Amino acid sequence: MIAHEPEEQTIICLRCPRGCEVTAHVDGDGAVTEVTGNSCKLGIQYATQEVRDPRRILPTTVRVRGGNHPLVAVWTPEPIPRGRLLELARATREIVVDAPVEDGQVILKDWMHLGINLVASGAVDVAS
């Protein structure tokens, strides 16, 4: 662990539409010692995670072959490391799934061994 100066990070919590401005007090080892400004427990969880390992959900689409729509909406129900969003976005451009696609269907399992799935959030039927 690299030694840091203790600091305060201002974070906007993403867990609900309120967007509370939360302050995370971070010690010299990079650990969150205190969280203030939150309105609920989720804020503490979020701030701690955000300091340690910021993660985000990626919503996008993938191509469908033989369907009544050319694309199906997909997302990562579990957020992925923020730094790898565009990498996964680029990877989704290469994917083509065959119709029918069911809502909830796993499109990419355990991407990059990060335990992250890319899942369909819509449904596409076979073209009539």
Q: Give the binding site for other proteins (CB under 8 A).
A: 12-14, 16-19, 21, 39, 56-63, 69-71, 73-75, 82, 85-86, 89-90, 93-94, 103, 121-123
Q: Name 91's Cβ contacts closer than 8 Å, sequence gap at least 6.
A: 108, 111
Q: By the 8 A CB rule, do 51 and 26 touch? A: yes
Cβ-based nearer residue to other proteins, 33 or 39 = 39
CB 103 within 8 Å of CB 115:
no
* Beta carbon of residue 61, minimum distance to other proteins (angstroms, whole number): 6
Nearest distance in Å: CB 64, other proteins? 9
Closer residue to other proteins, CB minimum distance, 20 or 26: 20
Taking the least distance from each CB to other proteins, the nearer of 26 and 88 is: 88
In a 3-state reduction of DSSP, which class is residue 31? coil
CA distances from 128 to 38, 62, 104 (A): 51, 20, 22
Residue closer to other proteins, measured from CB, 57 or 112: 57
